[in-house]
Amino acid sequence: MTSLFHDIIFGPVRSRRLGLSLGVNLLPTESKLCSFDCIYCECGWNAEHPGARRFNARADVRTQLEAALRRMAADGTPPDVITFAGNGEPTLHPEFEAIIGDTLALRDSLSPAAKVSVLSNATQLHRDDVHRALLRVDNNILKLDSALDATARRMNNPQNPDYNVRGIVEQMKRFDGRMILQTMFLRGMCDGTPIDNTVEEEVAAWLRLVDEIRPRQVMVYSLDRDTPCPTLEKVPREELQAIAARVEALGIPCSVA
C-alpha cells in the first residue's frame, strides 16, 4: 500500500543508500505534488492525492529541522544525512535555494558531520536557482531511469509534455560531474503493457549517457516498497550488480541498493 509523508521532518530512517537519514518534506503533508507521476512511486499516483497544493513554509522547515537536529544531538544519535525527499519533487519549492542555505547553516552549527542530500527527478535543472542550490549540497542525486524517451515517459509519466531525455542530459552535464546519477531498474506490466528497462537495448543506451554525463557516482536500485502499479517486478540483485560492473568499467563508481 502506497503512503504519504505526513510531516515536514520525518524519520530518522535507515536508508539503503545513505545511512541514518533525517528526511525533509517540502511538499504538502496531505497530498502529493510532483512533476513526474512514476509508476513505482511509494506515494502513489498524483491523482490519488487531490488535496491542498501548498508548499511547506520556509520558516516552518527551518524551525522544525533545527528542533530535530537539537534533539538528535542531545540523544547522541546525529544523522548521517539530511535528505530532501517527501511527497513529490523538492526542487519545485519556490524558495528551494533559500531553504538549502538555511539547512546548510543548521547542519554546520548542530550536526557538522552530516551530509545534505537532495533526491530530485531533474526536471527543474533549467532553473538557475535550483542549479546553484544543488551545487552547494553534498549529494546532488538526480534521476535518469531510461535513455529512451518512450520508456522514460512510461516509467516516469512527466507532467510536462515537452520532457525529453536529451534535454535532461544536457542539464546534467552542466554540473561537470558534481552529481550522483540514480536509476530505478524494473520490469513487469503496467496498465496491461509490458515494461523492462533491463534489456540490452535499454542498458547499452543508458550506459552511453552515463559515459556522456560522467557523474561522480551512479546508484542503481530496484523496487523496495509498494508501488501504485502492483504488477511491477523487482530486479534481482545479481542483475543490478552486473549492470553496476559495466558502469565501473567506464571508470565511474556504482553502488547497488
Residues of the chain with pLDDT > 90, as a percent, come to 88
**For residue 20, is pLDDT > 90?**
yes
**For residue 1, is pLDDT > 70?**
no
The per-residue pLDDT for 234 is 97
Q: Do residues 190 and 227 make contact, with C-beta atoms less than 8 angstroms apart?
A: no
For range 74-78, the mean pLDDT: 94
DSSP secondary structure letter of residue 7:
S
For range 86-114, the mean pLDDT: 97
The per-residue pLDDT for 19 is 85
Q: What is the pLDDT of residues 129-152, one digit of tens each?
A: 999 999 999 999 999 999 999 999
User: H helices within 90-219, ranges in order?
Assistant: 96-110, 128-136, 149-156, 165-173, 200-213
The per-residue pLDDT for 216 is 98
DSSP E strand boundaries for the chain: 9-15, 19-25, 81-85, 115-120, 139-143, 180-184, 186-190, 193-196, 217-221, 232-234, 254-256
Residues in a beta bridge with 143:
182
**For residue 70, is pLDDT > 80?**
yes
**For residue 241, is pLDDT > 90?**
yes
What is the average pLDDT value for the chain, to the nearest integer?
Answer: 95
Residues of the chain with pLDDT > 70, as a percent, come to 97
Q: Which residue has the higher pLDDT, 226 or 242?
A: 242
Query: Residue 91, Cβ neighbours under 10 Å: how many?
Result: 26
Q: What is the pLDDT of residues 31-68, one digit of tens each?
A: 899 999 999 999 999 888 766 668 999 999 999 999 99
Cα–Cα distance list, 186 to 78, 85, 99 (Å): 34, 21, 33
Task: Provide the whole-model pTM.
Answer: 0.95
The per-residue pLDDT for 204 is 98
The per-residue pLDDT for 5 is 86
pLDDT band per the 50, 70, 90 thresholds, residue 13: confident
For range 62-76, the mean pLDDT: 97
Hey, what domains does the chain have and what are their CATH numbers? 9-256 (3.20.20.70)
Residues in a beta bridge with 183:
220
Cα–Cα distance list, 79 to 109, 115, 121, 185 (Å): 13, 8, 24, 28
The per-residue pLDDT for 52 is 61
For range 193-206, the mean pLDDT: 98
